[in-house]
Amino acid sequence: GQNIDQPTEMTATEGAIVQINCTYQTSGFNGLFWYQQHAGEAPTFLSYNVLDGLEEKGRFSSFLSRSKGYSYLLLKELQMKDSASYLCAVVEGNYQLIWGAGTKLIIKP
Amino acid sequence: ETGVTQTPRHLVMGMTNKKSLKCEQHLGHNAMYWYKQSAKKPLELMFVYSLEERVENNSVPSRFSPECPNSSHLFLHLHTLQPEDSALYLCASSQVGAASGANVLTFGAGSRLTVL
């Protein structure tokens, strides 16, 4: 079957580093997205990986291993504004995205 | 107005009411989507309109009816809903066939629906 797994909730300290994992089992794979969603707001695009390896964008990096069905989002120098839900989604076809349930990240001072 | 705007932001309705959710995108995209977001559950794709074609999730009940009069506007008509339909309804748009290859969705802030 199709499945995306990510932790329900994580807690980290301001200024630290946190890694949010996402494992997937899907019938097809055309790329993997990470989105950020603050409470009561729209999800916003963070990253897209289609090839294996690490993509870095400022304080955020995303890694993909297609052979292992695994991705992670790495957040460095955490700020209070990074408190949000982080959604992992695998692209199966033209329109079909398989979404994880999201990881709620809580940042403490 | 920029991006994707949804109205109303909040809606409370009885099971016998008929209401509509509206979405408008100002990005020149060629595809629009309706998603349902329930607490602690994955986003559920309900309907897609892309390049004049409609694609739908066959598990969506007929009490939800989409309408896409043009590439910038999308509606979700609601009638005889059930309490379990209470959720956040997100509209999104994207540019299918973009040079980057990634079909990046731009979401609206959502319409929070409560069915009594």
Q: Are strands A9-13 and A103-108 parallel, antiparallel or unpaired?
A: parallel
**H-run or E-run covering A22:** strand A18-25
Determine the distance in angstroms separating the CA of A96 from the nearest CA of chain B, rounded to an integer.
8
Which of B48, B50, B103 lies closest to A91 in CB terms? Answer: B103
What does the alpha-carbon distance between residue A61 and residue A19 come to, in Å, rounded to a whole number? 9
Mean pLDDT of A70-90: 97
Taking only the tens place, the pLDDT of each residue in A7-43 is 999 999 999 999 999 999 998 899 999 999 999 899 9
CA distance B101 to B98: 6
pLDDT for A101 equals 95
Task: Give the torsion sign (CA, B22, B26, B32, B33).
Answer: negative
Question: To the nearest whole percent, how much of chain B has pLDDT over 70?
Answer: 94
Q: Which residues lie across from B91 on neighbouring strands?
A: B34
Contact B106 A45 (CB under 8 A): yes
CB of B78 closer than 8 Å to CB of B86:
no
* Per-residue confidence band for B12, with pLDDT thresholds at 50, 70 and 90: very high
Q: How many CB pairs under 8 A join A and B?
A: 54
The minimum CA-CA distance between A109 and chain B, rounded to whole Å, is 25
First and final C-alpha spacing in chain A:
40
Phi-psi region of A15 (alpha: psi -120 to 50; beta: other; left: phi over 0): left
The per-residue pLDDT for B55 is 80
Check: CB of residue B32 under 8 Å from CB of residue B23: yes
Decide if A95 and B41 are in contact by the 8 Å CB cutoff. Answer: no
Chain A residues with beta carbon closer than 8 angstroms to that of B50: 94-95
